[in-house]
Amino acid sequence: MVNEIKRLIKSFGHALKGLKFLFSSQRNAVIHLLLMFCAIVMGFMLQISNSEWIMIILCSGLVIAAEAFNTALEKMADAIHPDKNDGIGNAKDLAAGSVLITAIAALIVGIIIFLPKLYSWVNSI
């Protein structure tokens, strides 16, 4: 039991090390993190519902996770085959495309949630 807890703590350490690497080396990950923070602040300001919070948190988490998977794939591919390779280039492009898809979906969800509330807030001033 004690060894399992130690292994669990160690695995959290590896995960935190990976997140530190992600946010210290990937400009887009930092941009996504800042946008997530803005969405959270707006959520509190505009008093979004529980279901809207769930959507904001899920979408934000998916974008950050997609960015992490993209970075992992790029680093692994570069380590395995540092020279230019069309197949690896295609895989990297697909991974980057998945980040774009999740970011666009998150943006659309944010617009659906926040735009009507911002419109009402502006009209109440």
List residues with catalytic annotation: 67
How far, in Å, CA of 69 to CA of 86, rounded? 20
How far, in Å, CA of 103 to CA of 13, rounded? 27
